Amino acid sequence: MFNNKKAAGGMMFFGMMIAIMLWISFTQLLGPATDATASARSVSQLDCANSTISIGTKATCVITDWMVFGWAGAIIALIIGAAGGGLIDRQLKKKQQ
C-alpha cells in the first residue's frame, strides 16, 4: 500500500496519535466511572456493605465492582491490539514482497 518510507512514517505517527488520544480519553473517563461505581454501591442504591442483602443484589455488587476493571482492560487490549495488528501486518507485507 505504501511504497515509500515517508508515507509509512506518516501512518506510524498517525497511529501513535490515535493511541495517545485513546489513552487520554481512558484516563479522563476513569474518574467518572469510578465515581458512578461508588455511587451505585452506596447505602441509598445497592447497599453493598449490608450483609443481609439478597444473592442477586450481591451478584450485582460484584458485577458493578468489576465493570471498571473490565472497561479499563478492554481499552488497554484495544490499544495493544491496534499496535500489535500494525506490527503483524507490516511483517506479512514484508514476507509477500
Given a cut of 70, whether residue 3 has pLDDT beyond it is no
pLDDT (tens digit, 9 = 90+) per residue, 22-44? 888 888 988 888 898 888 888 88
Angle between helical axes of 5-40 and 55-96 (0-180°, round to 10): 180
Domain residue spans in the chain? 5-96
**Could you tell me the three cell numbers for 56?**
442477586
pLDDT (tens digit, 9 = 90+) per residue, 38-70? 888 888 888 888 889 999 999 998 998 898 888
Which of 9, 5, 7, 25 has its CA nearest to residue 78?
Answer: 25
Can you list the alpha helix ranges (DSSP code H) found in the chain?
Answer: 5-40, 55-96
Please indicate whether residue 15 or residue 26 has the higher confidence score (pLDDT).
Answer: 26
Global pTM exceeds 0.85? no
